[in-house]
Structure 1
Amino acid sequence: MTRANRAIVHTEFGDASVLRELTREVTDPGPGEVRVRVAVSGVNPTDWKQRTGATATSDVPAGGAVPNQDGAGVVDAVGPGVRGLAEGDRVWLMLAAYQRPGSGTAQQYTVVPAERAVPLPDGVGFAAGACLGVPALTAHRALTVHDGAPARLAPGALAGVNVLVAGGAGAVGNAAIQLAVWAGASVVATVSGPEKAALARAAGAGRVVRYTDPDAAEQVRDAFPGGADVVVEVAAAHNAELNLAVLRPGGTIAVYANDGRGGPLALDVRRNMVLNARYQFVLLYTVRPEALADGAAAVNDALAGGGLRFGADAGVPLHVYSLPETAAAHAAVESGAVGKVLIEVDPDI
């Protein structure tokens, strides 16, 4: 008997109004794949950017595309050749829709390569699982690209390392703060105002600085007299001057976004040479599989050990929508909702 799959689909690029709920047929996993019954889907900026076509590398397929890279649920079927996962396993998903436009998590059932489904630690809920993926793995990558960095974070792995997190109230910024603190680093975060400062402190930042303050660099240097070893950067152009003012010689600026406030990133070659600065650009889609696996393992260790938490008390307010409200969820992220936007796909799991 054919089972129905409620899915959110768009057949063209555009604003959130292009998203429609359809009923599709549940498909079986092929070799190396698993089918997951999705409990919660997570929405990230990358999802609405792909929906608009801003970051698309090809046209929307004829059958339409299902949005959202992140989610969590239960393995419903296992394809030939899969090892380490079984029917009934609780998992969180990463890069579900990457090069697979029909496999996004805004649907009841999705089929993904087995390596994109990661066992969810005991005691960790599906909502937390759907908060991982893009934010947590991006943060892990940004924290493991400096000179002498460990491949996988663990308690003590960043002992003695000074980390500056730009945009400490954002989803990636929050994950970077939590993971860096869990790994033993000293952390300063920059934010725009008092409400976001409270969120960055809740995440565990030892000091929070308003980047709009005229003496922002002096405040960071007060916390890090020798300079920042690593900058986790969300606004590369806007923060370029601040970063050069606080980076230690040989330090690394890990850039995962450029929010457009400062225009294109222009580098002062001489000043960067004097610092022996390293710029590492981070885009999860093209990170090596081995690094993704290391990140997933570290994220799970942090989850299990209480080093990575979600909710307002951890600096990540959760905003929950139903599957039919997916367009509203996308619009919320696109308009800059602070915290994490989730879609409750199947509350019966």
Structure 2
Amino acid sequence: MLAMVFETFGGPQVLHPADVPVPEPRPGQVRVRVEAAAVNVWDTKVRGGSGSDAPAPSSAVVPGLEVAGVVDALGEGVTGVGPGDRVVGFAATGGYAEHALVSVWAVLPEGLAATDAVTLPVAAETATRVLRLLAVRPGETLLVHGASGSVGALATQLAVRRGARVVGTASARNQDRVAALGATPTPYGAGLVARVRALAPDGVDAVLDATGAGVLPDSIELRGGTDRIVTIADDAAGELGVAASYRSERDAGDLAEAVDALAQGRLSTSVAAVLPLTEASRAHELVEAGHPGGKVVLVP
């Protein structure tokens, strides 16, 4: 099958097409004929060699964490899904390929495009996990740094649905996007503390940092301490005494709930670009340039 691979760490140009074996599902897995694969910042870090402490690859690596497609083979013990069903989930093998194995998935309702559904697994898992850690309650004020990004946008919507008030930071061009999500938008950058205090005079109850852009000191000042602040992107968290959450807690039920909400219009995501699988290098360039305006998606 066709896949996009790399054999050495480096820039986007190290990605290239290759013919690799079609994977066979293990117990508890399904194999899908990929209709869409999402591109994440993590993929670019792995390709560049900074995403792990692993040595240089000893064989071709197929990137890709999220896929949507049609089930064409089942591993032992799989129930509730069969060949021909469309699913979205976390790739157990690289998603930048014509086929991929999936170990945590949700069935797609009819009418939901694969290119839309594939925006969900990582962002929905992360947003759900962090909101649980922050224990956001109705009537509280949540500050979301990066509210227009994939994780920030979903966290904003989920918090608003819980009855919380959200103040969301974003670039000037994304202020309307944040407002449309149900949040009160404000630009990031110098003067942030004063702007947030003006918007939330009773204080901020919890903070999610989805940017890693050095906003933790301002967040601590706004909270009056380090309690109920979680970052998913800033390595300075430890030295500042702030909680960081990086470990994925993949749950099929949580994913199915997010898929259902997206299909019914109770959640929204955005797709910045849909590119052919063979343009994976270009997709990585877009993601690494920053602020693509939504998910970049590859289609075989």
Same fold (TM over 0.5): yes
SS at 1:11's partner residue? coil
- CA deviations 1:294-318 (Å, max 9, x no partner) are 53243234224422113xxxxx352
Q: Does 1:172 align with 2:126?
A: no
Q: Tell me the CA shift for residue 90 of structure 1.
A: 1.1
What residue number does 2:178 align with?
200
Q: Does 1:34 align with 2:22?
A: no
Q: Which runs of 5+ in 1 are unaligned?
A: 98-102, 150-157, 270-278, 311-315
- CA deviations 1:179-234 (Å, max 9, x no partner) are 22233221110123x202222223332x11112242x3233233333322221103
AA paired with 1:197? Q
Distance, in Å, in 1 between the alignment partners of 2:182 and 2:259 is 19
Q: Contact conserved, 1:6 with 1:108, CA < 8 A, in 2?
A: yes
Q: Which runs of 5+ in 2 are unaligned?
A: none
Distance change in 2, residues 1:266/1:64 (3 Å): closer
What residue number does 1:124 align with?
112
What residue number does 1:24 align with?
20
Q: Tell me the CA shift for residue 249 of structure 1.
A: 7.2
AA paired with 2:277? L
AA paired with 1:296? L
1:184-333 to 2 correspondences below 5 Å: 184-192=163-171, 194-205=172-183, 207-214=184-191, 216-235=192-211, 238-247=214-223, 251-258=227-234, 264-265=236-237, 279-283=242-246, 286-289=247-250, 292-310=251-269, 316-333=270-287
1:103-182 to 2 correspondences below 5 Å: 103-113=93-103, 116-147=104-135, 158-182=137-161
1:4-23 to 2 correspondences below 5 Å: 5-23=1-19
Q: Contact conserved, 1:35 with 1:76, CA < 8 A, in 2?
A: yes
Distance, in Å, in 1 between the alignment partners of 2:54 and 2:193 is 42
Q: Tell me the CA shift for residue 248 of structure 1.
A: 6.6
Q: Contact conserved, 2:30 with 2:102, CA < 8 A, in 1?
A: yes
Q: Contact conserved, 1:321 with 1:329, CA < 8 A, in 2?
A: yes
Distance change in 2, residues 1:161/1:305 (3 Å): farther
Distance change in 2, residues 1:333/1:235 (3 Å): closer
Distance change in 2, residues 1:28/1:317 (3 Å): closer
The alignment's C-alpha RMSD in Å is: 2.3
The count of residues paired between Structure 1 and Structure 2 equals 299
1:20-99 to 2 correspondences below 5 Å: 20-94=16-90, 96-97=91-92
What residue number does 1:340 align with?
295
Q: Contact conserved, 1:39 with 1:73, CA < 8 A, in 2?
A: yes
SS at 1:104's partner residue? coil
Distance change in 2, residues 1:27/1:146 (3 Å): closer
Distance change in 2, residues 1:49/1:341 (3 Å): same
Distance change in 2, residues 1:224/1:302 (3 Å): farther
